[in-house]
Amino acid sequence: MSYREHRVDAELRRWVECAWERVGPDGPDGHQRIVPDGCMDLIWSERAGVIVVGPNTTAFVSPLEPGGKVVGVRLHPGAGPSLLGVEAPALRDARMTATELWGDAGRRLEEAAAGADQDAGLLLAFLAERARAAAEPDPLVGAAVARLGAAAVRHVADELAVSERHLRRLVNAEVGYGPKRLGRVLRLRRALARVRAGGELAEVAFGCGYADQAHFTNDCNALAGVPPGRFLQDRAA
């Protein structure tokens, strides 16, 4: 199995974190554990066609056919509603086909994707067209995302000069769940990236703000469905 990420053109970077592609193993069918990250993804696969996925509150396991390719575009947390034209809570732990979401325009995208030698270019072109008429992502949400995971919700609200209630309402509307869960998701995402890079579990736990290694393990179990060591084994399989 292989996985690669690609940078996108400057015109899309306000909304898009990266484009990516995943190719299944050469041998028997495999799987990929998808850990929540607060993002929405526009995805094409031969199995499902063109769909929009997320944001997820807990991990799910995605099947990988031998040699099968999946390509996608990952949006920044909070950037989906303005670019995709969908309310974030409507997609929490859910997915929609392109046709369900965009009608005839989505159907044309699905038909074009089915006949293409697929990479993320077709998806990026579709999003670039939508970006020309889309509102900018809310800067307050972006500022909150940059701070959550490293600071408590009340401290983030204070830094941004808004009430906790307003921050909860705004983040829930634009990301799909509230700032407390988003903070946990972002902290775990950062911690698992450090573990993948070779960090020791205790050191990673301390550096990412967990009370101790057990707290890190418990949060990983709750959000990713497995402890950090098992997560690494799954990634390496």
What CATH number is given to the structural domain containing 189?
1.10.10.60
What's the order of all strands across the beta sheet hosting 49-53? 2-6, 16-23, 69-75, 41-45, 49-53, 95-97
CA–CA distance, 215 with 70 (Å, rounded to integer): 34
How many domains is the chain partitioned into structurally?
2
Domain limits for position 206: 139-236
Would you place residue 8 in the very low, low, confident or very high pLDDT band (cuts 50, 70, 90)?
very high
Q: Residue 201: is its pLDDT beyond 70?
A: yes
Q: What is the pTM of this model?
A: 0.92
Q: Which residues contact 158 (CB under 8 A, 6 or more apart)?
A: none
The last residue of one of the domains, among 131, 148, 182, is: 131
* CA angle (103, 82, 55) in 5-degree steps: 85
- Mean pLDDT calculated for residue range 157-165: 97
For the CA atoms of 101, 105, 106, 111, the dihedral, rounded to the nearest 10 degrees, stands at 170
The last residue of one of the domains, among 84, 111, 131, is: 131
CB 92 within 8 A of CB 176: yes
Lowest mean pLDDT among 16-25, 111-120, 189-198: 111-120
Clarify whether residues 46 and 21 are in a common domain.
Answer: yes
The type of residue at 59 is A
Helix, strand, coil distribution of the chain in percent, nearest 5: 50, 20, 35
Clarify whether residues 11 and 114 are in a common domain.
Answer: yes
